[in-house]
Amino acid sequence: MAKVAFLGLGVMGFPMAGHLKARGGHEVTVYNRTAAKADLWVAQHGGRAARAPREAAQGQDFVFLCVGNDDDLRQVTLGADGALGGMAKGAVMVDHTTASADVARELHVAAAALGVGFIDAPVSGGQAGAENGVLTVMCGGDAPVYAKAEPVIAAFARMCKLLGPAGSGQLAKMVNQICIAGLVQALSEGIHFGQKAGLDVEAVIEVISRGAAQSWQMENRYKTMNAGKFNFGFAVDWMRKDLSICLAEARRNGAHLPVTALVDQFYSDVQTMAGGRWDTSSLLARLK
């Protein structure tokens, strides 16, 4: 059992922090910018709510984070009221935000200067994965620090792996998002074509999902996509944030991502259709 703080109780962080308490048996302190969510978490799970990141981080063995983007991360970790300022030597910070590899390296250096360990640990598996405690966690950092963090992360993970030095977790998450982007467009085109062809799309997918076209997106999204419902998971606004991180990294490392770049523009169309909060399968909506 460890002393743990969790900062950022959004769609993902709220249930992840819950698993640290209920499954992991850890002593959990939470912080959320909008304090009402932290109070709600404490009402549901017990534990303690702190009113600032630094206060939450004081005296903890581990500080977990899951906020929005690079700027949010810097706000919550660095500066006068930031979590790093409250952390003791030997403590470990684990960041589950999907952010750039640059900010992961920057925080790794800032933490090391204080004798604090830092693991970048973005996740895949969505809201359902967080609620069911079966996330995939992609980690970057130092092996001895990771070895300390892995048993704690296990409270909400089905798969967790160290993939290299600081930033490697974020780079792996970029690979994940690049793989998803083109696939969701292809799935949208397949369903669109099936509808235009007058087929029973559900029956078609039930058959082809047992063959080579099978994917997580197909299995989990085809019914809602076919029904024109797009309120079932990861939002387009978040996906565009992630794709912009991928495309910026690709400009630096020379990778060619033509389909990813195109799909990013397709998501920009969806935003223009007021679909920023629709889930990523809404690429189908812009074909209609």
**Binding residues for ligand NAP, per CB under 6 A?**
8-13, 32-34, 37, 66-68, 72, 75-76, 97-98, 123, 126-127, 233-234, 238
Which residue out of 37, 161, 173, 288 is catalytically annotated? 173
**DSSP label of 281:** G
Of 238 and 278, the one with the shorter C-beta distance to ligand NAP is 238
What distances in angstroms separate CA 217 from CA 52, 194, 279, one per listed residue?
Answer: 38, 17, 11
Residue type, 56: A
Distance CA 120, CA 27 (A): 22
- Asked whether 54 and 86 are in contact (CB, 8 A), the reply is yes
Which helix (H) or strand (E) segment holds residue 128: the answer is helix 126-132
Of 126 and 167, the one with the shorter C-beta distance to ligand NAP is 126
- Asked whether 28 and 21 are in contact (CB, 8 A), the reply is yes
Of 234 and 267, the one with the shorter C-beta distance to ligand NAP is 234
Minimum distance of ligand NAP from residue 198's CB (angstroms): 34
Residue closest to ligand NAP, measured at CB: 10
Of 12 and 116, the one with the shorter C-beta distance to ligand NAP is 12
- Asked whether 191 and 226 are in contact (CB, 8 A), the reply is yes
Minimum distance of ligand NAP from residue 283's CB (angstroms): 16
Minimum distance of ligand NAP from residue 113's CB (angstroms): 22
Active site residue 173: yes
Catalytic residues: 173
